[in-house]
Structure 1
Amino acid sequence: MTPSRSEFITVRGLRTHVRHWGREGAPLIFMVHGWMDVGASFQFIVDDLAGDWHVIAPDWRGFGLTERAPGDTYYFPDYLGDLDAMLDHYSPDGPVNLLGHSMGGNIVGLYAGVRPERVRRLINLEGFGMKATRPEQAPAHYARWLDGLRQSVPLRTYPSLAAVAARLQKTNPRLSDRRAAFLAPHWSAPNDAGQFEILGDPAHKKAGPVLYRVEEVMACWSAITAPVLWVEAEHTNMWEWLGPKEQARAEVDRRLGHLQQVQTAMMADAGHMLHHDQPAALARLIEGFL
C-alpha cells in the first residue's frame, strides 16, 4: 500500500484530521469522502494511481478523527465553509483537482459552482443529490427535526475489529477481506469498555431542519466552469433516495443537463462504494480525465 501520513489542522475552530499520500509539491488531488466514511477510504484508489500526485483527504467534521461539531445538528453549508478553509490552507494560490464521493460529491458539486475559480477539474462519484422537495413539506419536516432533538441515536458497538470488518462487508458484499481489515481500524476505535465504536457522530443520523432544494443546487451546478467527470456504479443502490429507478434515471439526467462540460462514465461490477469495488479501473479513469 502507498504510505500515508496524518496531520491535524484547525478548520473553523474544529481540530480536523487530514491524510496525505504522495510527494509534497506534486500536482494536487483533493478527495472528500461520503456520509459515515473517512478520508482513509481512498487508500485503494491511491494505490492504483500511476502518476506523481499529492493526494489530500480530510475527515469531515464529526467523522473519523476530526472533532465533532458543537450542538445537535449538522448543517450542509458548514461543509462548504470547511472545504473553502481547507483549500485556502493547502492551495491558496491556484485551483485544485477536486473529487468527492456520495455526500462528498454533493459538497464538491455545490462548491464548484460557488467558487468556480478554485476548481481546475471536478470528479463526482455518485453524488446524485437527494429527492426534490416541495415547500408545503416544510412544516412536517421541521416537526421531524424538533422530535429528533429530543431523542438520542446511539451507534452500535462491536466486540472486535473483525466484527467491524464483517459489518463493512455486510453493507458491501463486494468488499474483500483484505480491504475490510484495512478499513476497520480507520472506521472505528475502542471505547473504555473495550468495544469498538464507529467514528461518526450519532447526530449525523438525525434529520436536518432544512429541505433539500434541488433547484438551488442546480443553480450552483449551472455555475460550474470546470470540466466535470461524473461516475456512476452499475449496481448502485442510490436510486432508493430518488424514487423508482426509471423515474430517478430521468431526474438524474435532467440534473446532468445543468453541467456545462460533463463526461459521464458507468463503473461496471461496482456498487455505491465504487472506490472500494473497482479502485484500479477508477484510478485509470481519474488520471485519464485529469
Structure 2
Amino acid sequence: MEESTQTEQPKVIPAATVVIFRHAKDGGAPELLMVTRSRNMAFAAGMAVFPGGRVDPEDFELARELATELPEDEAAHRVAAIRETLEETGLAIGINGEVDAERAKQAREYLLETGALAPVLEKFGWQVAMDHVIPFARWYPKNEKLPRVFDTRFYLADLGTGAVDITVDQTENSRLFWASAAQALEMAEAGDIELIFPTRRNLERLAQFDDFAAAYDDCARYPADTIVPFMEVRDGKRWICIPDNLGYPVDGEPLDSAQRS
C-alpha cells in the first residue's frame, strides 16, 4: 500500500477567554483578573492567563436555544466565556437576574455538578446577557508541530465596583490575582509570572486604556479579526510577529524569547 504523504493537521479547538475589568481601589489604572495555570495542564502550564477555556457542545446547544441575533458560533463562544468564568473564578458575569456573592457561590457549585450553564440559568432564574461580553480579539496561532491548537476569542467584561468573592478552582488553576495590565507586564519582567505570546501582546494593548470605556471604544475601532502569528527575520534574527494594523503597540518579539505554549 502506498504511504500517504499528506501532513496530518492539528486538531483545532474553539475557545473563549474573558478580560474582566474592575476599578482600582486607589483610582489608578483598571485591574484585570488573571489566573495562573496549573503546572500539570497540557496547554500553557504554569502561565498567567485570563479566565477561559474550550467551547463545549453544551455551549452550542444553549446558544441554539437562546436564538439570539448573533450567529450561533459567536453566541456559543460568549456562553463559554460566561460559563468558564463562573467555573474558574466564582464570578457571575454576562448575567441578568439577581446576583450576589452567595448566589454566585451556589451557582458555581451547581455548575461544577452539572457541567453546563443551562441548568444553572434555570435553577437561579438567570438570563444570559450577551452584550455584557464585548469581542476584543481572536487569536489562532497555527502550529503544525502540535497535535492541537486553540482558536481563541477574547472578550472584555466590566465588573465595576462592589464586593466580589473569588476562589481558585484548584484543578486547572493554582492562583487568582488582580493586577493592572502594566503591573502584570512588570511582574513578568521580574520573573514573578510567565506569559505566553498572545497574553503578553494583549496586556500591552490593554495597558493603553485608562478605563473600561476606553477599551470599549478601542474594540469599535479594531474589529476582532483573526490574528495568525507569523515568522519573519529582523536584523538577522527570527521573530514571531502579528499584523501591525490591529491596535497592538508591539507587533512581535524574537522567537528565542517568546513563550508559545
TM-score (norm 1): 0.26
Structure with greater contact order relative to length (CA < 8 Å, sep ≥ 6)? 2
- Structure that is richer in helix per residue: 1
Q: TM-score, normalised by structure 2?
A: 0.28
Of Structure 1 and Structure 2, the greater strand share is in: 2
